[in-house]
């Protein structure tokens, strides 16, 4: 266990404190239930720009490149301190193997755990044990999902959900009366839904893949749609819903599961049946078998609030190619989606984001297409993807494989001053003992020293436990770490062992 250092109030420590403070602000920002609420993201969410341009869907407008995040190097320049001081070897143990080795030998971590510890500033691997061995990552794979999404889409990109119609005019009353008078037999054969002075206009709700679409956003979309219809003199419609953006199986290979809804381009409340979907939540919940159909039903109901009635139950159908857009709603920026996914280990967002990467790079929005797209994006970033198998975006697939070396490389790349668009990977990591999936951890024994100081993504499947994140180590060095364990006998003791490992790196 590393002994905590007592810092003296000297001019040198004042400089170091300013550096750490600047880094903390840059990486953390103001937090609310684990979500960074950057003003840039808020402003982007209010603007009608962004979104995806998909067939039959919304539009995509250019967004300004994100400004580089403040860095410790910039602060040091202003204070006149040498930037190279960040890379000077600090007070790390002469051999981390003496510190981490015995803990990695714990039977709680299974027979052959893997580990990697990297100095983020230099990229130097300070410790490695089976660091190049591909292992099941569980939810730590979401770090790869986040990097690929931010790289391919950009932090300001937003996902559009649209409503379109191919009918530009309602049928005139004169025409309608003419039909009635001309053919009484036709009148008698009509359904009650089609009677009246107005032929229903057909509209299509087009899913764009926003896994965070909620009732509030859907209500706004329905009201905007109703307003646009009333402006056209339309008060009665039939509703179709289009989920053709995604292809391949809807069910995750894990099968029906409370941890994830069927993967579809349209859903509201993430298909949860207990109304637990909100900005911050954790844990499984019963899921709908038809989240797209349920979302369309809710949309049709909300149209009524805007004074537009529906003549039939919404039906599945593809939007016409020549359709006019009536209304659109956008997700929060990808930067905010990434943070929410990482903080809460949100599986639905993970599967949505990898499909957005596939669409952006011209591949099918399916499990297979997403795997190809994400691995290609990481390879483009010159990351060590050899041996990696990214079969999904959530980590629920037990056939996923990743190395601890790749995980630390992903974290280091996210901290690269040349890659400010990747910074939400770091700001979205849960804080030990305080937020997200780490809220209830780091509360016992030696691991308590990591509370509030470690930020990390967790991973848990039966027999699989993982932890990957960042910590400020001795001398102020930002360290990235990753620990992977398979065949662990029990999740609770495995998690405690991982917490103790990471706490050893705290300064």
- Which residues form the catalytic set? 139, 142, 345
d(C-alpha 11, C-alpha 54), whole Å: 56
In whole angstroms, give the CA distance from residue 434 to residue 34.
8
- Per DSSP bridges, beta strands 201-206 and 236-242 are parallel
User: Strands 324-330, 160-165: parallel, antiparallel or unpaired by DSSP?
Assistant: antiparallel
Q: How far apart are CA 346 and CA 331, in angstroms?
A: 15
From the list 481, 404, 386, 504, the residue with the least C-alpha distance to 126 is: 481
**Token pair belonging to 304:** 């009524």
Give yes or no for a contact between 61 and 52, defined as CB atoms under 8 angstroms apart: no
Distance, in Å, from the CA atom of 48 to the CA atom of 185, rounded to the nearest integer, reads 49
Residues contacting residue 426 through CB under 8 Å, at least 6 positions apart = 27, 411, 414, 415, 455, 470
Q: Are 228 and 324 in contact (CB under 8 A)?
A: no
The answer to whether 422 and 416 are in contact (CB under 8 A) is yes
User: Residues 56-90, buried b or exposed e (16+ Cβ, 10 A)?
Assistant: bbbebeebeebeebebbbbbbeeeebeeebbeeee
- The two tokens of residue 316 are 């599945």
Measured N-to-C along each axis, helices 347-360 and 367-380 cross at an angle, to the nearest 10 degrees, of 70
Alpha helices in 306-388 (DSSP H): 334-344, 347-360, 367-380
């Amino acid at each position: 266990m590393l002994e905590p250092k007592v810092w003296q109030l000297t001019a040198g420590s004042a400089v170091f404190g300013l550096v750490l403070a600047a880094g903390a602000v840059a990486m953390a920002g103001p937090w609310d239930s684990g979500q960074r609420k950057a003003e840039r993201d808020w402003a982007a969410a209010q603007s009608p720009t962004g979104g995806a341009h998909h067939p039959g869907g919304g539009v995509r407008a250019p967004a300004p490149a994100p400004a580089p995040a403040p860095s410790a190097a910039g602060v040091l320049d202003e204070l006149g301190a040498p930037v190279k001081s960040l890379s000077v070897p600090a007070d790390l143990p002469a051999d981390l193997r003496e510190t981490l080795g015995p803990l990695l030998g714990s039977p709680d971590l299974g027979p052959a755990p893997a580990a990697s510890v990297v100095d983020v500033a230099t990229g130097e691997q300070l410790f490695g044990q089976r660091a190049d061995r591909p292992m099941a990552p569980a939810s730590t794979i979401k770090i790869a999902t986040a990097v690929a999404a931010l790289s391919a889409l950009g932090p300001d990109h937003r996902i559009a959900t649209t409503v379109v119609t191919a009918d530009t005019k309602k049928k005139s009353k004169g025409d309608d009366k003419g039909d009635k008078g001309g053919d009484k037999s036709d009148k008698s054969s009509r359904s009650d839904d089609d009677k009246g002075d107005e032929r229903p206009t057909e509209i299509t709700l087009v899913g764009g893949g926003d896994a965070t679409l909620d009732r509030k956003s859907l209500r706004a979309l329905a009201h905007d749609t109703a307003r646009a219809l009333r402006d056209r003199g339309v008060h009665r419609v039939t509703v179709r819903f289009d989920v053709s953006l995604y292809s391949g199986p809807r069910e995750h290979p894990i099968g029906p599961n409370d941890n994830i809804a069927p993967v579809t381009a349209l859903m509201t409340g993430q298909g949860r049946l207990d109304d637990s979907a909100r900005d911050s939540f954790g844990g499984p919940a019963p899921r709908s078998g038809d989240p797209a159909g349920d979302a369309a039903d809710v949309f049709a109901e909300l149209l009524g609030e805007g004074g537009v009635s529906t003549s039939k139950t919404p039906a599945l159908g593809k939007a016409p190619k020549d359709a006019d857009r009536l209304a659109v709603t956008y997700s929060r920026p990808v930067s905010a989606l990434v943070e929410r996914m990482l903080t809460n280990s949100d599986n639905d967002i993970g599967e949505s984001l990898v499909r957005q990467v596939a669409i952006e790079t011209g591949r099918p929005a399916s499990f297979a297409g997403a795997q190809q797209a994400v691995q290609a994006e990481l390879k483009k970033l010159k990351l060590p993807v050899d041996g990696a198998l990214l079969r999904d975006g959530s980590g629920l697939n037990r056939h996923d494989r990743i190395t601890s070396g790749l995980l630390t490389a992903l974290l280091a790349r996210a901290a690269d001053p040349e890659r400010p668009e990747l910074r939400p990977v770091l700001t979205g990591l849960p804080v030990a003992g305080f937020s997200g999936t780490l809220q209830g951890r780091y509360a016992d024994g030696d691991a308590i020293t990591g509370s509030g100081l470690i930020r990390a993504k967790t991973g848990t499947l039966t027999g699989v436990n993982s932890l990957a994140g960042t910590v400020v180590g001795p001398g102020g060095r930002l360290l990235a770490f990753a620990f992977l364990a398979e065949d662990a006998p029990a999740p609770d003791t495995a998690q405690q062992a991982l917490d103790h490992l990471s706490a050893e790196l705290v300064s």
